[in-house]
């Protein structure tokens, strides 16, 4: 019902807002029906602050830094440093202090890197979160504008539609069947009808204040206007909400797997390291005697090895790769709302897409009209008959499009494309929609909703009240008792309904979206007659049909081909007629031979077993209800697929939430749909979903690359040391205190190659065939598909090469300096071979030389190379920290060994890829 009335001001002081009438509320908040001026709103915002619930304090930089020291391995490292310092002091060997200092330096650098990565990821998340902040429509300077909810001030007039979040506490001043869902506040799930009447009682429970709307609750039906009465922490929800804690960044499934893996590796590493430690001690005992054992060195290198074995940087690297990926997705017009969703996106195997606006352009043009038994193309309408004119005018009247004439005498139309098409029909047939609207003003209405698929308005026409209903023909025919047969009103018969149904199908087969228009005449105003929804939308007289084209988006056909190559199934879910959906789905390549199209009703009749059996064949669902959508998502999820589902209406929120990737439309979507979604499409376009999945796949595969790289390098380091204490004993009987690498060297390689190269790998460009592979099966672990094996053998390769480098270095080293020479060559080969190995990891299949270059990896390679050379060329660092050989006196043979062995992993892995590709090509 429409209520706008103004009462006299009475006893304003004692009254609470719900007791006041509209005029009093407006006056109390110094506003008017035109809204505030923008200057006043700005002033109020400055005075009272943003309309937001207070957030918990952000963690300080120091607290974040401190957090980094809570890590188990960091604690081990600090203990190791203490032992190193103590050892140096007890043994009175100040040169041993450097080891302890190096460990402390590494701990600090690691902590700083950790904080920097965390902040970068947080910033990215924060800025993206802002993009999906809820918006609301308010009247400012007499105009409707859309603003951020945070900018709403007391006194603002809010324009409410179904699907909006209520931005603050409000007093309703206009209600057209307004209903809200207040479960967020009161827990009551049934929508509450809102009106503008003042309430006389003093004490009224929140849920019974029918003229008040509360912040964070949802408009589920109807529309209206309201005055903002309190904002932010002054609202009811603000009063009960204790501080909103700043949302902790949720761990993604992969991060959880990795941190679990880290813990397992820590246990294994400690075990292996203990064994290595014991072997070294026993060996020293039996060779040099217990008093000469280099306890500190052995202990330190064991600790270093333990640290090297654990991929402690991986969770942070995954976060940063996901956060950067999220930023790239924004450029592709997809706003992701959580990090876990970015990770899931790449595994999407089913995309359930709306038709209208996502697969099609949502630019509707009516091309056909139908009155009982006669079709007329719009282009052929010259002198419309009385009934045809009625059909056109009724289409203008039962319509929420706002129509204005511009200064250049052009029509400006704002509204839903389906309804704009009806206004356009009036203009195309030389009618004047503005005049029609002024002549027959609306006195009552039932808004459109996608469950009823109907809309009704009531107008005073020639002294009588006429309700006009438009909507889905099949729904409307079922409610008709009469038909207007070119002026004569006849009772409908099954034959007449058949004729209309046939025509509806003929239009739909031509991919037209069809609306039926019907009416009903009353002698008195509907309010006087106290008509219910059902009264208004029953016993209708059918007038005719209009058929409109909504062309497919041109880019969608290619996107569908891409999804097919990528093993992704696209499913069309639409509220539209089955035949229209089938025609468009066939044209786009969604519906092919052997596939099925069903309606929501047919789905309702299916048992769960029957549905699951047919599920893989069904590619089109027409005339669906929001509940149908939830059932479709759930069914696909039970088959283990990762499902993406689009939606825009308030009723779509459950299916959006249920899907693995809930997608809301940025342009046409309601705030509620956006609030429920994981991803918001800023252009509403299906092709964007496909590019987002492509980006998601790249992000996932880049994370896998970082994991592959780090773990294989760690294994390389362990194998090197392990070979030293096993084969090393046999090969170097004269070196009882043999250390393949010093603790400082292991820690350095771990630090330098770890973070930089791994992050650079996380920024790899797309591999050419990223969309030519089936979706990743999330139930299989990250090491499925051979990654585990690759990590293992490539790690072993690096280990053997480093050990070989040490061995050769020992053989060619000068007498008396053999050990240091061997260590230095081993150190160089371990570090540089890992830098080259990063190029192997760029693709599991393709040669690195055939891929698009990754500039970040090239920068990281040269940067790390320079750092590595610093460790041997800068005398202070070389002598005091790493204890390396004097490389300035090296022969060409030494360098040849370093270069030759360092590139070996690259050569070997390239060769293996080449042979594998050859074999698989032959098999194909």
In which element (H, E) is residue 719 found? helix 686-725
Rounded to a whole number of angstroms, the minimum distance from the CB of residue 397 to ligand ATP is 12
Q: Known catalytic residues? A: 354
Rounded to a whole number of angstroms, the minimum distance from the CB of residue 356 to ligand ATP is 3
Tell which phi-psi region holds residue 216, choosing left (phi > 0), alpha (psi between -120 and 50) or beta. left
Q: Footprint of ligand ATP on this chain (CB under 6 A)?
A: 354-356, 416, 418-419, 448, 450, 453, 455, 470-472, 513, 515, 574-577
Q: How many CB atoms lie within 10 A of CB 177?
A: 20
Rounded to a whole number of angstroms, the minimum distance from the CB of residue 658 to ligand ATP is 17
Give Cα separations from 173 to 4, 119, 226 (angstroms). 7, 45, 5
Query: Which ranges of 726-786 would DSSP assign to H, the alpha helix?
Result: 727-731, 743-762
- Closer Cβ to ligand ATP, 51 or 574, answer by number: 574
- Closer Cβ to ligand ATP, 387 or 416, answer by number: 416
* Residue whose entry in the numeric block shows the structure tokens 């005719």: 544
Rounded to a whole number of angstroms, the minimum distance from the CB of residue 417 to ligand ATP is 9
Rounded to a whole number of angstroms, the minimum distance from the CB of residue 474 to ligand ATP is 9
Q: How many CB atoms lie within 10 A of CB 189?
A: 8
- Closer Cβ to ligand ATP, 543 or 835, answer by number: 543
- Closer Cβ to ligand ATP, 137 or 450, answer by number: 450
* Residue whose entry in the numeric block shows the structure tokens 């001030």: 153
Q: How many CB atoms lie within 10 A of CB 722?
A: 21
- Closer Cβ to ligand ATP, 110 or 423, answer by number: 423
- Closer Cβ to ligand ATP, 515 or 838, answer by number: 515
Rounded to a whole number of angstroms, the minimum distance from the CB of residue 553 to ligand ATP is 13
**What does the block give as tokens for 793?**
């053998």
- Closer Cβ to ligand ATP, 369 or 418, answer by number: 418
| Helix/strand/coil percent split, the chain, to 5 | 55, 15, 30
**What does the block give as tokens for 274?**
């203990």
Q: How many CB atoms lie within 10 A of CB 659?
A: 31
* Residue whose entry in the numeric block shows the structure tokens 């209800």: 625
Q: Is residue 732 within 8 Å of 809, Cβ to Cβ?
A: no
- Cα distance between residue 842 and residue 910, in whole Å: 11
- Closer Cβ to ligand ATP, 255 or 504, answer by number: 504
Pairing state between β 157-161 and 212-213: unpaired
The C-alpha R_g of the chain, in whole angstroms, comes to: 36
Rounded to a whole number of angstroms, the minimum distance from the CB of residue 636 to ligand ATP is 18
CA 916-917-919 angle, to 5 degrees, is 65
- Cα distance between residue 340 and residue 666, in whole Å: 20
Rounded to a whole number of angstroms, the minimum distance from the CB of residue 674 to ligand ATP is 16
- Cα distance between residue 359 and residue 550, in whole Å: 10
Rounded to a whole number of angstroms, the minimum distance from the CB of residue 649 to ligand ATP is 7
- Closer Cβ to ligand ATP, 265 or 548, answer by number: 548
Contacts 24+ apart (CB under 8 A), 593-601: 595/619, 595/620, 596/620, 597/621, 597/622, 598/622, 599/623, 599/624, 600/624, 600/625, 600/628
Give Cα separations from 912 to 231, 770, 798, 804 (angstroms). 65, 21, 15, 21
Give the nearest residue (CB) to ligand ATP.
Answer: 575
- Cα distance between residue 663 and residue 127, in whole Å: 19
Rounded to a whole number of angstroms, the minimum distance from the CB of residue 360 to ligand ATP is 8
| Full 3-state SS string of 552-563 | ECCCHHHHHHHH
- Cα distance between residue 456 and residue 438, in whole Å: 18
Rounded to a whole number of angstroms, the minimum distance from the CB of residue 452 to ligand ATP is 8
Rounded to a whole number of angstroms, the minimum distance from the CB of residue 354 to ligand ATP is 4
- Cα distance between residue 743 and residue 735, in whole Å: 18
Q: How many CB atoms lie within 10 A of CB 733?
A: 10
- Closer Cβ to ligand ATP, 157 or 571, answer by number: 571
- Closer Cβ to ligand ATP, 337 or 355, answer by number: 355
Q: Is residue 108 within 8 Å of 96, Cβ to Cβ?
A: no
Give Cα separations from 401 to 42, 395, 420 (angstroms). 31, 11, 6
- Closer Cβ to ligand ATP, 631 or 708, answer by number: 631
Farthest CA pair distance, the chain: 118
Rounded to a whole number of angstroms, the minimum distance from the CB of residue 111 to ligand ATP is 51
682: helix, strand or coil: coil
- Cα distance between residue 782 and residue 31, in whole Å: 59
**What does the block give as tokens for 690?**
């496909």
| Relative orientation angle of helices 253-287 and 314-331, to the nearest 10 degrees | 150
Distance from the first to the final alpha carbon of the chain: 69
- Closer Cβ to ligand ATP, 655 or 823, answer by number: 655
- Cα distance between residue 372 and residue 392, in whole Å: 15
């Amino acid at each position: 019902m429409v209520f706008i009335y103004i009462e006299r001001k009475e006893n304003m002081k004692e009254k609470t807002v719900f007791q006041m009438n509209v005029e009093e509320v407006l006056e109390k908040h110094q506003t008017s029906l035109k809204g505030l001026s923008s200057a006043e709103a700005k002033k109020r915002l400055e005075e009272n602050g943003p309309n937001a619930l207070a957030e918990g304090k952000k963690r300080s930089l120091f607290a974040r830094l401190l957090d980094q020291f809570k890590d188990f391995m960091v604690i081990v490292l600090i203990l190791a440093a203490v032992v190193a310092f103590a050892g140096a002091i007890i043994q009175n060997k100040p040169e041993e202090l450097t080891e302890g200092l190096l460990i402390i330096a590494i701990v600090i650098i690691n902590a700083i890197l950790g904080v920097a990565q965390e902040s970068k990821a947080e910033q990215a998340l924060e800025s993206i979160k802002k993009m999906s902040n809820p918006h609301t429509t308010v009247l400012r300077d007499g105009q409707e504008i859309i603003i951020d909810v945070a900018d709403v001030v007391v006194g603002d007039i809010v324009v409410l539609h179904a699907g909006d979040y209520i931005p603050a506490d409000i007093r309703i001043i206009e209600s057209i069947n307004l209903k809200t869902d207040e479960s967020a506040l009161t827990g009551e799930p049934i929508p509450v009808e809102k009106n503008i009447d003042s309430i006389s009682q003093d004490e009224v429970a929140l849920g019974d204040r029918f003229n008040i709307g509360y912040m964070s609750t949802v408009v589920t039906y109807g529309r209206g206007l309201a005055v903002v009465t309190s904002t932010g922490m002054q609202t009811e929800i603000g009063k009960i909400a204790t501080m909103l804690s700043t949302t902790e960044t949720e761990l993604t499934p992969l991060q959880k797997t990795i941190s679990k893996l880290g813990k397992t590796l820590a246990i294994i590493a400690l075990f292996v390291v203990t064994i290595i430690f014991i072997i070294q001690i026993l060996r020293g005992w039996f060779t040099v005697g217990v008093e000469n054992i280099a306890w500190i060195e052995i202990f330190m290198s064991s600790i270093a090895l333990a640290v090297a074995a654990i991929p402690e940087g991986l969770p942070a690297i995954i976060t940063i790769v996901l956060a950067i990926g999220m930023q790239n997705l924004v450029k592709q017009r997809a706003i992701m709302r959580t990090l876990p969703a970015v990770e899931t996106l790449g595994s999407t195997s089913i995309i359930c897409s709306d038709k209208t606006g996502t697969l099609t352009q949502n630019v509707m043009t009516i091309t056909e009209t139908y009155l009982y038994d006669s079709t007329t193309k719009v282009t052929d309408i010259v002198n419309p008959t009385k009934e045809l004119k009625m059909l056109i005018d009724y289409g203008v009247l039962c319509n929420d499009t706002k129509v204005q004439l511009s200064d250049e005498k052009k029509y400006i139309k704002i509204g839903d494309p389906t309804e704009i098409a009806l206004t356009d029909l009036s203009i195309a047939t030389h009618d004047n929609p503005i005049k029609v609207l002024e002549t027959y003003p609306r006195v009552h209405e039932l808004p459109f909703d996608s469950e009823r698929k109907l809309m009704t308005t009531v107008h005073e026409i020639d002294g009588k009240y006429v309700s006009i209903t438009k909507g889905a023909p099949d729904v409307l025919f079922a409610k008709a008792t009469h038909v207007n047969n070119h002026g004569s009103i006849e009772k409908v018969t099954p034959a007449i309904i058949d004729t209309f149904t046939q025509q509806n199908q003929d239009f739909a087969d031509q991919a037209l979206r069809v609306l039926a228009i019907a009416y009903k005449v009353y002698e008195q105003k509907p309010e006087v007659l106290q008509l219910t929804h059902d009264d208004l939308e029953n016993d209708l007289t059918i007038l005719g049909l209009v058929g409109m084209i909504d062309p497919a988006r041109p880019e969608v056909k290619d996107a569908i081909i891409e999804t097919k190559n990528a093993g992704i199934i696209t499913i069309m879910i639409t509220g539209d007629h089955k035949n229209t959906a089938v025609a468009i789905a066939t044209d786009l390549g969604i519906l092919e031979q052997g596939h099925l199209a069903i309606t929501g009703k047919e789905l309702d009749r299916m048992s769960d077993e029957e549905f699951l059996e047919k599920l893989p064949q069904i590619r089109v669902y027409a005339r669906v209800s929001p509940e149908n959508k939830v059932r479709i998502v759930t069914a696909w999820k039970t088959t283990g697929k990762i499902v993406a589902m689009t939606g825009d209406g308030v009723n779509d929120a459950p299916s959006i939430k249920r899907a693995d990737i809930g997608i809301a439309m940025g342009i046409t979507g309601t705030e509620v749909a956006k609030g429920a979604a994981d991803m918001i499409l800023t252009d509403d376009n299906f092709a964007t979903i496909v590019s987002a999945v492509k980006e998601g796949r790249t992000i996932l595969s880049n994370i896998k690359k970082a994991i592959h790289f780090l773990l294989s390098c760690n294994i390389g380091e362990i194998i090197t040391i392990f070979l030293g204490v096993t084969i090393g004993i046999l090969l170097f009987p004269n070196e009882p205190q043999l250390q393949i690498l010093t603790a400082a060297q292991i820690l350095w390689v771990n630090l330098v190659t770890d973070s930089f190269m791994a992050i650079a790998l996380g920024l790899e460009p797309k591999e050419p065939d990223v969309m030519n592979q089936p979706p990743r099966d999330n139930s299989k672990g990250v090491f499925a598909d051979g990654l585990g094996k690759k990590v293992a053998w490539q790690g072993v390769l690096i280990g053997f090469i480093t050990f070989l480098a040490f061995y050769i270095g020992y053989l060619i080293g000068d007498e008396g300096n053999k050990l240091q020479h061997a260590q230095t060559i081993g150190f160089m080969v371990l570090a540089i071979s890992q830098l080259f190995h990063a190029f192997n990891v760029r693709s599991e299949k393709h040669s690195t030389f055939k891929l698009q270059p990754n500039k970040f990896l090239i920068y990281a390679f040269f940067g790390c190379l320079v750092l590595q050379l610093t460790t041997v060329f800068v005398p202070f660092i070389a002598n005091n920290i790493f204890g390396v050989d004097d490389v300035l006196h090296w022969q060409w043979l030494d360098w040849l060994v370093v270069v030759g062995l360092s590139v070996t992993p690259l050569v070997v892995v390239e060769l293996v890829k080449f042979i594998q590709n050859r074999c698989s090509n032959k098999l194909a």
